[in-house]
Structure 1
Amino acid sequence: MPLYYDDLEPGQVFTLPARTVTETDLVNFAMLSGDWNPIHTDQEFTKGTIYGRPVVYGLFGVVMMTGLLDRSGLFSGSAMAMLDITDWRFEKPVFVGDTLHATVEIAGKRLTSGGDRGIVDRLFRIINQRGEVVQTGHIGLLIRCGPQSAENVS
């Protein structure tokens, strides 16, 4: 069962499932984006960088996190639209072999003028296997109110 606007309160935190980043993920992301920057794709080049090995694309973390969110089912069927991504920070690098999960904190919410939907500010934290936050930021969501709320509006 998905969560609706009425089910959410600021301060609630939900933990999403985990997933290990693979070499295939990195290559597929390079192919999809067309970004073959050597910092991500060239073992020899990266030996001379601060990372010493290829670093996974920053945006891959955001994309993977949305997949983990879908796997959780938290908003599947109640979400109407992603509204924005704000204050996104890349705190630490992600590498092939890292296992990532995420948390979602309800940072705020407000009803829209129609009263049958609301806007929820969600604070995401992507966390690696060492418990380090590697990315964080806010993603706004347009979401349906609960089925009972919708009946009251009609």
Structure 2
Amino acid sequence: MSSYYLEDFKPGQIFTSSGRTITEADLTMFSMISGDWNPIHADAEFARGTRYGQRLVHGTLGIAICTGMLHQIGIFEKSVIAMLGLREWNFKQPIVVGDTVHLELEILSVEPGKSGRSGKLGRRFRLLNQRGEVAQEGDSDVLVLTHEGARQQQEQSSQAAQP
């Protein structure tokens, strides 16, 4: 899929990624990177005694997977400027090793900026498991170039490359 610019988005649009199965390596690597070795993630015997009966994947790994799946969808490849934040992120269902998840991204709002070069998109992320259940969801605004902003950026890059 090619990049979308601000004018290409409309509230209500939904973009869906392909699936990705969560592995033991994902759980372990995220524990190593984050330093979070809570027994619910790292101790199979402890986790067996919880209401889930098994280890859970870190909730924040779900957020990271969502943002990675944006790249796979490809709509922000050349147009994104910056993620502006996350709001009201909710963990609805646990994620466990072996779950296959995919991202459903809904455009909530499109707000042109004052300069005409960029604007803000309101987005809702939904991370769904293989049963179609929402495992996590939350909102995130992002600053995106307009077609004109991309053209101006390209011109500036071309001029800077000339000796």
2:74 and 2:14 map into 1 onto residues whose CA distance is: 15
Identity %: 44
Identify if the C-alpha distance between structure 1 residues 149 and 45 changes in structure 2 by more than 3 Å, giving closer, same or farther: closer
Equivalences for residues 1-154 of structure 1 within 5 A: 1-147=2-148
1:74-99, Cα deviation, whole Å (9 max, x unpaired): 11110000001001100000000000
Q: CA deviation at 1:108?
A: 0.5
Secondary structure at the counterpart of residue 88 of structure 2: strand
TM-score by length of 1: 0.94
More displaced stretch, 91-100 vs 104-113 = 104-113
- Higher Cα radius of gyration: 2
Deviation (angstroms), 1:10: 0.4
Aligned-pair distance for 1:118? Answer: 0.4
- Equivalenced residue count is 152
In structure 2, the gaps of 5 or more residues are 156-163
The question of whether the paired residues in 2 share the 8 Å contact of 1:7 and 1:146 is answered with no
Tell me by how many angstroms 1:48 deviates: 1.1
CA contact (8 A) 2:117 2:149 kept: no
Structure 1 runs not aligned, ≥5 long: none
